[in-house]
Amino acid sequence: GNSVTQMEGPVTLSEEAFLTINCTYTATGYPSLFWYVQYPGEGLQLLLKATKADDKGSNKGFEATYRKETTSFHLEKGSVQVSDSAVYFCALSSSGGYQKVTFGTGTKLQVIP
Amino acid sequence: GAVVSQHPSWVICKSGTSVKIECRSLDFQATTMFWYRQFPKQSLMLMATSNEGSKATYEQGVEKDKFLINHASLTLSTLTVTSAHPEDSSFYICSARGLAGGPYNEQFFGPGTRLTVL
């Protein structure tokens, strides 16, 4: 079955530091890959997505590239801000989000001034 | 576009009572809605998938008699936690999806409902 593995947190960074959150997946076929963000006390928001190999999703300075050869979808940001503090979930769906979305366990990011 | 709301955003109830949570798609018709549960510091687990006008499909291990799901219209699904107990305390999140091939054919998530059972 499908599964997503992402690095355990929490991750604590100083403002303007470089961020990488690793995510690898196991799936049949060619899944779509997502990063969701959950701010404290709120629900999930789609941060970015990629639907095929070598696609790069990007939003709000965050980027992730769909690497089929390494089954990875690592999240990166060049310079984090305090407002980026949240929990980040890597996820996949075998049908572009149409059917069941499988989530990783989430990585909590804390950015300190 | 593609806004999904949940009501209430938080609820506290006594053990043994039932609680209803609403999930609404505000600006599109949701042919399918999904209900997830999130335990503290853990990921979201899919509980069930409901299609408008038909019975929900529950994931393995989810008690259908305890978590009643109704999807009576294209914009509303409800989750009723019956005879709630403290172990049902959790964060419940719904998502909604439109017609296949249309502009809303992916899951859009609601803000979640925090349930605390005393």
CB spacing of B44 vs A44 below 8 angstroms: yes
Range scoring the smallest mean pLDDT among B1-10, B37-46, B88-97: B37-46
A45: DSSP letter: E
- The closest alpha carbon to B97, from A13, A79, A95, A12, belongs to A95
Res B107: pLDDT: 85
> Would you say B91 and B37 are in contact if contact means Cβ atoms under 8 Å apart?
yes
Restricting to A residues 86-105, those with a Cβ less than 8 Å away from any Cβ of B are: 89, 93, 96-101, 103-105
- From the number of C-beta atoms within 10 Å of its C-beta (0-12, 13-18, 19+), residue A76 rates as middle
CA triple A79-A81-A33, angle to 5 deg: 70
For each successive 10 residues of chain A (113 residues), what is the average pLDDT?
89 97 92 91 87 95 96 97 96 75 92 96
Number of Cβ pairs < 8 A linking chain A and chain B: 46
Mean pLDDT for all residues in chain B? 91
CA distance B114 to B8: 8
- From the number of C-beta atoms within 10 Å of its C-beta (0-12, 13-18, 19+), residue B74 rates as middle
CB spacing of B34 vs A46 below 8 angstroms: no
Res A36: pLDDT: 94
- Residue B13 pLDDT > 90: yes
Res A91: pLDDT: 94
**Residue-wise pLDDT tens digits, B26-84:** 999 998 999 999 887 778 899 999 988 888 999 999 999 999 999 889 999 999 999 99
